[in-house]
Amino acid sequence: MTLPALPPIAPSPATEPTPALAAPSIPITIEVDPGMSTNLMLLTGAGFVVVLAICFFLQRFYANYLVRERKLAPRSANFSGMLMFGSLICVLVLAFIGTMAGAFFRLPFILPLAGAALALGIGSLMPLFKR
């Protein structure tokens, strides 16, 4: 059994999009600090990674402290440590934005990160006040 050949598809004529359906073009400009050299960017990025590693070790130390001294369950202590790690990362990102990308150091970027850092920091300290 053979299938019949399909008729060729005629190309549709190219039409210009109507102005009502066209997407508006909004120019986006990002201010880049012309004085920031590549070496300074590399040093700041390397510092970011080093501080990230330090924050990770602080998280592990805090979780072990909660298990050892406060007699908290390891699962709860690890969760509290991860909340502290998230809080420190939010603060680190705020510092990174402040030094590297001055164009993004505005309230719409700062407020959510600061709020998240505050909420995560409070959440990580809650096991210290439980009895």
pLDDT for 9-60, tens place per residue? 777 666 665 555 556 677 766 665 566 677 877 888 888 899 999 999 999 9
- Residue 26 token pair: 């909004």
End-to-end Cα separation, the chain, in angstroms: 81
Per-residue model confidence as pLDDT tens digits over 85-106: 999 999 998 888 877 776 667 7
Assign 3-class secondary structure to 68-96. Answer: HCCCCCHHHHHHHHHHHHHHHHHHHHHHH
CA 65/CA 81 separation, integer angstroms: 10
Enter the pTM of the model. 0.66
Residue type at position 42: L
